[in-house]
Amino acid sequence: MKLASLLENLQYKVLQGDPCPDISAVVYDSRKVEPGCLFICIRGAVADGHSFARKAAEEGAAALLTEEPVEVPENVTVICVEDTRYAMAFVSAAWFGHPARQLKTIGITGTKGKTTTTYMVRSILENAGYKVGLIGTIEAIIGDRRIPAANTTPESYVIQQYFREMADAGCDCVVMEVSSQGLMLHRTQGFVFDYGIFTNIEPDHIGPNEHRDFDHYLSCKAMLLRQCRVGIVNRDDAHFERMIEGHTCQLETYGFSPEADLRAEDWSLIGGKGYLGIAYHVKGLMDFPVEIDIPGRFSIYNSLTAIAICRHFRVSEEDIIRALREAKVKGRIEMVKVSEDFTLMIDYAHNAMALESLLTTLREYNPHRLVCLFGCGGNRSRLRRYEMGEVSGRLADLTIITSDNPRDEDPQAIIDDIKTGIGKTDGKYVEIADRKEAIAYAIHHGEPGDIIVLAGKGHEDYQEIRGKKYPMDERVLIAEILAEQPL
């Protein structure tokens, strides 16, 4: 492909060389440079691609995309742009033939609810006969392929590659999680979302390598409403007015508010043996009853978001109702049936905010006991351990402290930090460092009416110890425990 074709939607300056060489590949990782490629110099948190410019030229790159002049042989084309990350999104879209034009694209952003909502949307649309691709925190799904995720929102090149594969596989649409980091780093540029969704926002991802403060976090999230044709926004969120400032899309709202275009009314908690859920009635733009097998008020928001999206695909009420009953997300309040007497679930809650939200939600079901099993990751903030310990000690009737991903730390040291947090409360706890033994204890000491939560691992199927990942899937552990010692 000619370089000029890749740059057609960008402003740029040719610093040297042939302005329109043939390009054999687009590369942004210096380890993957090949003869004839366009090498994009990206400034990363660890390394700056500009420092590899000469090496890339020596290895045969035909052209370099940079933000500043670089010293390379005169026969190598150097193109300068203001922001190479932004440019890479447009170059990647062109390289893969603008695949987003062949798909209906749905982008979901927010502090909470992105993962569950993407799977709900996929479930509803597939039940209605659409073929749906998915990109998110857990995985990318392309036809029958499931690709484990490294980032919630991949680099723009990878997004466009996935879109190309989805279009070639016959997908009609794609639903994807859009992180604040992804927006900030221009990973979702190069195309316009057909639908952009805002779920909610709370202080999160604020730190040296993420967002400098909450205002910056919010402004990055709000970028989605300037990159979509139709924006679907949570009317109940406290930051609603700030979120929609400067939006360029057609706007729709959902929530409990009477001002919302799509509303949830008459909601109630439902449950049975080993089962928790919620029911409500959709009003406004649609009108029908909903029941879902996922507990909590936030499940109403997630499902209402999915309904607001799928309404645009002309999905019938019957298909929506059926699909929501069947929608499940690995590691997100994932109920595992082990007994008629108590409820056991797996959830990814791995910080204090998520754990407090989860346990507060489950408290509303008035369990006999609320039992919380969790550990904390090594090589991470010790403050998280104190906070999670304090939350569980305050909200759970029994905490089972165990190991998560200890990484390079001593698991007992992590457990001791968690105990420091619990010590600020009157909460009861036991400590069992081996996670399988801890889960076995939880199962075999379950009492009628208990709700038992295995928190922290969620969809993860490994345990990271001293730089190595060992297979460890809690679903497998539960099956092994029941096989070894049935209830």
Domains 3-95 and 99-326 share a fold: no
- Would you say residue 478 has pLDDT above 60? yes
Q: Give the C-alpha separation, 99 to 164, whole Å.
A: 5
pLDDT range class, residue 97, cuts 50, 70, 90: very high
Mean of the pLDDT values across residues 191-220? 79
* Number of residues assigned to the chain: 487
Mean pLDDT, the chain, whole residue set:
94
Domain boundaries, the chain: 3-95, 99-326, 334-484
Angle formed by the axes of helices 352-363 and 297-310, to 10°? Answer: 100
Q: 3-state class of 320 per DSSP?
A: helix
Q: Give the C-alpha separation, 10 to 336, whole Å.
A: 51
Of 375 and 152, the structure prediction assigns the larger pLDDT to 375
pLDDT tens digit string along 54-94? 999 999 999 999 999 999 999 999 999 999 999 999 999 99
pLDDT tens digit string along 439-454? 999 999 999 999 999 9
pLDDT at 275: 82
From its phi and psi, is residue 137 left (phi > 0), alpha (psi between -120 and 50) or beta?
alpha
At the topology level, CATH places domain 3-95 in: 3.40.1390
Long-range contacts of 268-272 (CB under 8 A, 24+ apart): 269/295, 269/364, 269/365, 271/295, 271/365
* Share above pLDDT 70 across residues of the chain, in percent, rounded to a whole number: 98
- Would you say residue 212 has pLDDT above 80? no
Sequence-ordered list of residues with C-beta below 8 angstroms from that of 394, at least 6 positions apart, any chain: 425, 427
At the topology level, CATH places domain 99-326 in: UDP-N-acetylmuramoyl-L-alanine:D-glutamate ligase (3.40.1190)
Q: Give the C-alpha separation, 43 to 84, whole Å.
A: 8
At the topology level, CATH places domain 334-484 in: Protein-Tyrosine Phosphatase; Chain A (3.90.190)
pLDDT tens digit string along 35-65? 999 999 999 878 999 999 999 999 999 999 9
3-state SS string over 252-303?
EEEECCCCCCEEEEEEEEEEECCEEEEEEEEEECCCEEEEECCCCHHHHHHH
- Would you say residue 143 has pLDDT above 80? yes
Tokens of 255: 């929530």
Q: 3-state class of 105 per DSSP?
A: strand
